[in-house]
Amino acid sequence: MAEKLFDAQRSALARGETLDQVLDRNVNEVLQEIRVAITAVQVLFAFLLTLPFQARFADLGVFGTAVYSVTMTSTGLATVVLIAPVSFHRMLFRRRQKAAIVQFADRSLMIGLGLLLVGVVSAVLLVLDVVLGRWPAIAVCAAIGVVGLTTWYLLPLRRRTERPS
């Protein structure tokens, strides 16, 4: 946490803000990011909750059931992890722990996005396995996984490690 606090202090100096202003802004930014991610999770989760009650669900077979289980589990976990900062904030509200809240929310968001990516890829696999067949579905999902990993993690991490201009 000391590293995050140091980053916030450095940001405060660079922007002419107080540490509290930086932390308030960081909380607001991470909450906006969580709102975007949680909307995707909610839509996917709602879709998944209805599937077992469809007539053709029993026809999925072992592969389809396994993919559905992975999709449901990763999406359920993403839901819990992405909502966790709300509880964390509520439990630490007015305890002067904003830096800890920002750090926890940041980590939760990174983990939640990873779980969401697994959920999205496996949901697409579940549907495309029925529509296109197994190998085309796997190929498309591999491409989606690579694009997701690249845009959500690799490119930002690469940029993060570059020296600022």
pLDDT band at 2 (very low <50, low <70, confident <90, very high): low
Which pLDDT score is estimated for 36? Answer: 87
Share of the chain above pLDDT 70, in %: 94
| Residue 139 falls inside a structural domain | yes
Number of domains in the chain: 1
In a domain, 92, yes or no: yes
8 A C-beta contact, residue 84 and residue 106: no
Rounded Cα distance, 55 and 133, in Å: 20
**SS3 breakdown of the chain: % helix, strand, coil, rounded to 5?**
90, 0, 10
Residue 8 has pLDDT above 80, yes or no: no
Within-domain flag for 1 = no
36 in helix, strand or coil?
Answer: helix
Question: For residue 139, what are the domain limits?
Answer: 24-50+61-154
Q: Give dist(CA 27, CA 32) in Å, integer.
A: 9
Q: Which two tokens stand for residue 120?
A: 């999205």
